[in-house]
Amino acid sequence: MQSLKKFVFSIGIIQILIFTTIFFREENLSLLSYINNSFMYGGVLLFLGLWVFVVRTGVFDIFTISMRKAFRLKTTLENDEMRPPSEALGFSSSLLLVTGTVTLLLMVICLVIYGF
């Protein structure tokens, strides 16, 4: 139930940001301006969600560890004390992915309506 509240809240915030952007850019409130702005917000959210997902899977951990070994500099931290990137991100990517996907789905629905 808590995650549903976060999901609905994040969708609401994104929709408010979309309409605020339309008014601040001094565009006419039209279906086309909503489609353009929701594409930008949905795309950015989906990109960030995918980026967090890839980093949290541990793909860059091996690269980071090997770069630390290859370029040993005089540091105060030992290699064991430094956290890998997958542990450094403390949040899940699911909310970003779902919010971006729903925003893009709303954009596609509006695009189909605009096409008729």
- The predicted-structure confidence for 9-43, as pLDDT tens digits, reads as follows 999 999 999 999 999 988 788 999 999 999 999 99
Average pLDDT for 84-89: 77
Predicted local distance difference test score (pLDDT) of residue 104: 97
| pLDDT score at 41 | 97
Contact 55, 89 (CB under 8 A): yes
CB atoms within 10 A of CB 49: 20
Residue 75: per-residue pLDDT: 57
The pLDDT mean for the chain works out to 87
Confidence bin at 3 (pLDDT 50/70/90): confident
Structure tokens at 13: 């915030």
